[in-house]
Chain A
């Protein structure tokens, strides 16, 4: 006869997956869906640091520290050593608190192609390597 705890034990295999989401208090999807690997995140300078910071997890503070200079979501994830999806949830928290600004990437558009000036700038930059 099976006991109800048997089913709990069978979930052990997923521990390594679930654990990072404890940082997000169980949330598996970000509040905003516009964050990408190369969305650039920059901390907002503010005077109210202490009071608001008390509500933040250590990972939130680590992100704020890292994005004093503009930095991409992928770089934040690499530095925190957290999966991208978990990192996005934490960045979404900071954005909704007004602690960071978000700059969307310049995407290659499906129709119309990319801005010629940007391509030329990339070309010039590569030639300087």
Chain B
């Protein structure tokens, strides 16, 4: 069911949240655990030459790769849908996928304590772009071998970045990560929103 606005547009408005982290940290698992549909898969052609440029003209003549991403959906109400995009494994390519990154509310970066380093690039990326994010420590099979303090230290996380631990196969773990991100966004929005004209 969609809405019909006075300007003639129809359907719900959409927002997106990125689920990032290195290869094999459980991104698609988390998307599947909280999405109302089985994760969908789509792909895009990206070229080295498209860095910072939206125009994809001349695509075929440049070094090109195909990246795939898995995504899911949470319908909030008839007016609003949240899309969750698991970022593709090939990090150096999705970092320049402007359409994927632009306009995201924020991100959940998943880490695996046995291989923290595979998620370093995602954390650096969101920090450098000023995109709000939370960190989820995926405790595979319910076992977490490190404390939150140890992981924070190892990741050199800013104190204000929320960090939660849990098995992302469980819906409530993914949901709590998303709630932590929304709370972070609300905390940042509040002082500005108070004086906002909208």
Contact = CB atoms under 8 A, between A and B. Distances in A.
Contacts of A42: 2, 10-11
Contacts, number: 162
Instruction: Classify the secondary structure of B's interface with A.
Output: mixed
A28 B182 contact: no
Contacts of B16: 37-38, 105
Instruction: Classify the secondary structure of A's interface with B.
Output: mixed
- Interface residue range, chain A: 35 or more
- Interface residue range, chain B: 35 or more
Interface in A1-57: 14, 17-18, 21, 28-29, 33, 36-42
Nearest to B183: A123
A72 B100 CA distance: 13
Nearest to B105: A108
A1 to B, nearest CB: 26
B83 A116 contact: no
B185 A101 contact: no
Interface of B: 2, 8-16, 34, 40-45, 54-60, 64, 66, 71, 73-77, 80-83, 85, 99-100, 102-106, 171, 175, 178-179, 182-183, 185-186, 188-190, 192-193, 196, 198
